[in-house]
Amino acid sequence: MKRTGFGFEIVAQEGGARVARLSTPHGVVETPAFMPVATFGAVRGVSPDELAGLGAQILLANTYHLHERPGEEVVAGLGGLHGFTGWRGPWLTDSGGFQITSLGDRVTVSEQGVSFSSPLDGKRRDLSPEKAIAVQEALGPDFAVALDECGPARLVGEDEDGARRRASAALERTLRWAERCRRAHRRGDQALFGILQGGIDESLRRRSARETAALGFDAYAHGGLGLGEESALREAMVAAATRELPASAPRYLMGIGRPEDLLAAIAIGTDLFDCVLPTRNGRHGNLFTRRGVLHVRNARYRSDPRPIEEGCDCPACIRHSRAYIRHLLHGGESLGARLASLHNLRFTLRLLEDARRAIAERRFASFCSEVRAGLDEGPR
Amino acid sequence: MKRTGFGFEIVAQEGGARVARLSTPHGVVETPAFMPVATFGAVRGVSPDELAGLGAQILLANTYHLHERPGEEVVAGLGGLHGFTGWRGPWLTDSGGFQITSLGDRVTVSEQGVSFSSPLDGKRRDLSPEKAIAVQEALGPDFAVALDECGPARLVGEDEDGARRRASAALERTLRWAERCRRAHRRGDQALFGILQGGIDESLRRRSARETAALGFDAYAHGGLGLGEESALREAMVAAATRELPASAPRYLMGIGRPEDLLAAIAIGTDLFDCVLPTRNGRHGNLFTRRGVLHVRNARYRSDPRPIEEGCDCPACIRHSRAYIRHLLHGGESLGARLASLHNLRFTLRLLEDARRAIAERRFASFCSEVRAGLDEGPR
């Protein structure tokens, strides 16, 4: 990356997998890295100090949501995302195209941009590529993301050709918007991600990657995945696109968080991830362990004095039993959701720490096999 | 107090107000002290480590609620409240009489005890004085509280004589239950509170205090107050009862938490308090300051970069602005409720720290005047 204050230095490789140092104006991120999701500028129930303690390096917020509330001018007036939220490390903002598209009937997409009626007040709002960039320049994250058009992989009743035509049209519009975003983007202390589309069609994915890379972005994100497609299909899409991307730029797979999916994507050269899974699963009592998901609300844990996961160094495992966390979740006590989220976040961040170490020591392939075998065993 | 591991040493006095060291098997509590409410064994959204950092010395849990869920045998099996929750300092459990009475139609009270249909599963449950003690011996707090009958101060349409007769009957039953609780209580490492009733009638309050003290408890709690009566009336009740209680025993006013009410009760010799107000008000965005309540959800704080209260050392004020906390509360982000609760708890704990210092330095009267004048000014 050529921007001041930024850098991307690959320090180890094993096959497609790589460890790198991603420098930003707000600190270095060791990749592969997982970004906890702070949609509105806060990870659900978790404070900035706790996130640092868990080993989080970079957080993700959402452009659309922060534009709606409190508005980028409020965030900018309080020192941007860093000052507003108290998380002084690096930030990335998603463009919000995906979130807007998920509003369904409320949205119309035209060449100019996206128009939607706000769920907050019902009023009409417009988000063009230029506006998406302007909002992100005001929010001030280290990384902004271009606005994309992201449709469903296949509409109900639609044939394969129809889905492909739609994916192709969305990819072409996303390319035209990418160009407009790149031109609109002025902030020198902010890097810009191009975003790839192409549905679940390998040739479209390749084309999207090739043409987006030709425009020249600081980094690249795989968009429009994690929408229910099979893991193997998704991995094929990511692998196909990755072959067309410059090795010197970070690659980000959006919205993926299952341990086995993270490892598979790392193996084919992905550097960044985000997902709501750790916090959302945590709130529902579904706790990650290296032996698979532990459903702590289950009656069998009613008197279980053990931590969620033996050997885990998270605040929940260090101090509390499965029985206590189960009790809190059953009673709707918010400390329960918080402890469960802390564990799942630490689990995910630790998995990536271990993956980085394994790549650096050239034993990532066997590390992945071990982790996968463990996940299949089921929790004790 | 004559139990092993317990002590109550008065170290300073000014008028009725006093500072004391209340020793327990799990550490010393400097009184006057405020007990954060952990009904189900957790203060809403706040961890044991955070509570220690805020200066909490002792927590309150609820016998009835923990009996319902997860059951005292689960708590006992995991090391009692101290082991189960991870709060290793002193605990007090309320008997649950008040909470059961608040179930309304679901409850019948007889000489034997309280019978009610559980809101959890609709099944019939019974709580006698003996059972209330057995549950608390299993839960293992440092302080247990005798079961009382606590009715409304005045029923709709009821005349004064009727209310007085009812209060008198409840007080007499509470005395008989107190005797049964005292006989049933065996645990040597647990102190027992007698609980006073008498509605809002001074002579009944005096009688309740005199006859409960004659039974000989380790400490005494004013029950049946904080139910909507005027502050002056409540203070008259507490003062009347206090004159009949031994100076050598701790006195606890249940369910009171407004700053001005805490100071008034301290002035007439009260040592312990509990209230859900700091956390409940926090969740609603009503934040305590020495200049009165700051309603942080108000639009005027939308871009306010200041902490909730200048000079406050709580985690919310040290790191975050009014604008950020307002934003989180408006978005229903649980970090907002947590930060607001942390502030209100720290405010209350700090108020009592300052009160203790003022009593020790013989300037409590002027301290109260200053605080009251400040509270009337309104937040800036």
pLDDT given at position B312: 98
Which pLDDT value is given to residue B106?
86
Domain end among A211, A244, A275: A275
- Name the pLDDT band for A186 (thresholds 50, 70, 90): very high
Q: Is residue B364 part of a domain?
A: yes
Beta strands A294-295 and A286-287, pairing class: antiparallel
The beta-carbon neighbor of B46 closest among A48, A324, A335 is A335
Chain B contacts of A320, Cβ < 8 Å?
Answer: 86
On the question of pLDDT at B155 being above 80, the answer is: no
Q: Parallel, antiparallel, or unpaired: how do β-strands B114-117 and B107-109 relate?
A: antiparallel
* Residue that is last in its domain, among A221, A250, A275: A275
Average pLDDT for B308-337: 97
pLDDT recorded at residue A99: 80
**Do B70 and B179 share a domain, yes or no?**
yes
Shared domain check, B206 and B354: no
In a domain, B311, yes or no: yes
Return the SS3 of B174.
helix
- Per the prediction, chain A carries an average pLDDT of 95
DSSP A222-273: E-S-SSS--HHHHHHHHHHHHTTS-TTS-EEETT---HHHHHHHHHTT--EE
For residue A347, the enclosing domain spans 283-377
- The continuous run of DSSP H or E covering B306 comes out as none
In the predicted model, what is the mean pLDDT of residues A344-356?
Answer: 98
Identify whether B162 is part of a domain.
yes
Let me know whether A214 and A335 are in one domain.
no
Q: In chain B, what residues touch A45 (CB-CB under 8 Å)?
A: 45, 333-335, 338
* pLDDT at residue A160, rounded to an integer: 86
CA dihedral B256, B261, B262, B266 (to 10 degrees): -120
CA-based nearest residue to B265, from B289, B291, B293, B232: B232
Which one is catalytic: A94, A201, A261, A271? A94
Residues from chain B contacting residue A40 (CB–CB below 8 Å) = 327-328, 331, 333
Q: Quick one: closest CA in B to A303, which residue?
A: B74
Q: Among B225, B256, B275, which residue terminates a domain?
A: B275
* Per-residue pLDDT band at B86 (split at 50, 70, 90): very high
User: How close, in Å, is residue B1 to chain A by CA atoms?
Assistant: 33
Which 8-state DSSP code applies to residue B71? Answer: -
Residue B2 inside a domain? The answer is no
Q: Examine residue A70 and say whether the peptide bond preceding it is cis (omega within 30 degrees of 0).
A: yes
B286-287 and B114-117 as β-strands: parallel, antiparallel, unpaired?
Answer: unpaired
Which residue type, as a one-letter code, is found at position B219? A
Q: How many C-beta neighbours within 10 Å does residue B380 have?
A: 9
User: Model pTM greater than 0.90?
Assistant: yes
> Does B1 reside within a domain?
no
User: Residue B196 belongs to what H/E stretch?
Assistant: strand B191-196
When pLDDT is cut at 50, 70 and 90, the band that residue A158 belongs to is confident
Give dist(CA B21, CA B11) in Å, integer: 7
Cα separation of B335 and B341, whole Å?
10
Verify that B269 and B315 share a domain, yes or no: no
Q: Which residues of B touch A47 (CB under 8 A)?
A: 315, 319, 335, 338-339
Residue B104 — pLDDT band, cuts 50, 70, 90? confident
The answer to whether residues A217 and A299 belong to one domain is no
Confidence grade of residue A30 (pLDDT, cut at 50, 70, 90): very high
d(CA A304, CA A284): 18
Chain-centroid distance, C-alpha B281: 15
**Average pLDDT of the residues in B288-293:** 98
Looking at the structure, tell me whether residues A183 and A299 fall in a common domain: no
Per-residue pLDDT tens for A243-268?
999 999 999 999 999 999 999 999 99
B339 to chain A: closest CA residue: A47
* Mean pLDDT across A160-181: 94
Residue A1 lies in a domain: no
- Using the beta-carbon criterion (under 8 Å), do B319 and A49 form an inter-chain contact? yes
Collapsed DSSP state (helix, strand, coil) of residue A295: strand
pLDDT at A313 over 90: yes
pLDDT tens figures, B16-26 = 999 999 999 99
Q: Which residue has the tokens 């985000």?
A: A274
Between A272 and B380, whose confidence is greater?
A272
B33 has which bridge partners? Answer: B272
Mutate to test the interface with A, among B68, B74, B324 (most CBs of A within 10 A): B324
Give the residue from chain B lying closest to A87, CA to CA. B319
Give me the percent of chain A exceeding a pLDDT of 90. 88
Closest partner residue to B48 (CB to CB) among A78, A305, A319 is A319
Q: Where are the alpha helices (DSSP H) in chain B?
A: 48-54, 63-68, 72-77, 80-85, 97-101, 129-139, 160-184, 202-215, 231-242, 259-267, 277-283, 315-319, 322-330, 334-360, 364-377
Q: Which of A37, A39, A47, A322 to mutate to test binding with chain B, by most B CBs within 10 Å of its CB?
A: A47
- Would the pLDDT of B101 be above 90? no
**Chain B residues close to A62, C-beta within 8 Å:** none
The answer to whether residues A289 and A268 belong to one domain is: no
CB B288 within 8 A of CB B281: yes
Give B20-52 pLDDT, tens digit per residue.
999 999 999 999 999 999 999 999 999 999 999
Confidence tier at B119 by pLDDT (50, 70, 90):
confident
Q: Which of B46, B49, B327, B330 to mutate to test the interface with A (most CBs of A within 10 A)?
A: B327
What local confidence, expressed as pLDDT, does residue B103 receive? 80
* Structure confidence at residue A102 as a pLDDT band (50, 70, 90): confident
Rounded CA-CA distance A379/A298 in Å is 12
Whether A24 and A113 share a structural domain: yes
Asked if B47 and A337 come within 8 Å (Cβ–Cβ), the reply is: no
What pLDDT is attached to residue A175? 97
Interface pTM, i.e. ipTM: 0.95
Query: Which is it for strands B91-94 and B59-62: parallel, antiparallel or unpaired?
Result: parallel
> Rounded mean pLDDT of chain B?
95
Query: Dihedral sign, CA of B66, B100, B140, A334?
Result: positive
pLDDT in tens, A84-100: 999 999 999 999 888 88
Which residues in chain B touch residue A85, judged by CB atoms under 8 angstroms apart? 324
DSSP 8-state class, residue B37: B
Q: Using pLDDT thresholds of 50, 70 and 90, give the confidence band for residue A157.
A: confident
The answer to whether residue B365 is domain-embedded is: yes
Cis preceding linkage at B70, omega within 30: yes
Question: Distance from B281 to chain A by nearest Cα, in Å?
Answer: 16
Residue among B78, B335, B336 whose CB faces A321 most closely: B78
- Catalytically annotated residue among A121, A161, A274, A354: A274
CA distance B355 to B103: 36
The pLDDT value recorded for residue B158 is: 84
- A336 chain-B contacts, CB cut-off 8 A: 42
Question: Are the beta carbons of A42 and B320 separated by less than 8 Å?
Answer: no
Are residues B140 and B172 both part of a single domain? yes
pLDDT of residue B293: 98
User: A48-52, B163-167, B176-180, B262-266 — which is least confidently predicted?
Assistant: B163-167
Alpha carbons A194 and A279: distance in angstroms, whole number: 27
* pLDDT over threshold 80, residue A154: no
B70, B321, B337 ranked by CB distance to A78: nearest: B321
Q: Which residue has the higher pLDDT, B4 or B75?
A: B75
Q: Half-sphere exposure of A7 toward its Cβ, with a 13 Å CA cutoff?
A: 10
CATH (domain of A249)? 3.20.20.105
Query: How many independent structural domains does chain B possess?
Result: 2
For residues A99 and A148, is the Cβ–Cβ distance under 8 A? no
pLDDT of residue A2: 77
Report how far residue B111's alpha carbon sits from residue B100's, in angstroms, rounded to the nearest whole number.
15
How close A115 comes to chain B (CA, Å)? Answer: 22
Same domain, A112 and A95: yes
Q: Which residue of B has its CA nearest to A318?
A: B86
Q: State the average pLDDT over residues B276-286.
A: 97
Residue B53 in this model has a pLDDT that exceeds 80: yes
Task: Give me B249's structure tokens.
Answer: 């025993």
Residues of A in contact with B81 (CB under 8 A): none
How far, in whole angstroms, is CA A304 from its chain's centroid?
Answer: 34
Average pLDDT over residues B169-183: 96
Q: Do A84 and B336 touch (CB under 8 A)?
A: no
Regarding whether A209 and A288 lie in a shared domain, the answer is no
When pLDDT is averaged across residues B240-248 and rounded to a whole number, the result is 98
Same domain for A207 and A87: yes
Q: How many angstroms away from the CA of B322 is the closest CA of chain A? A: 10
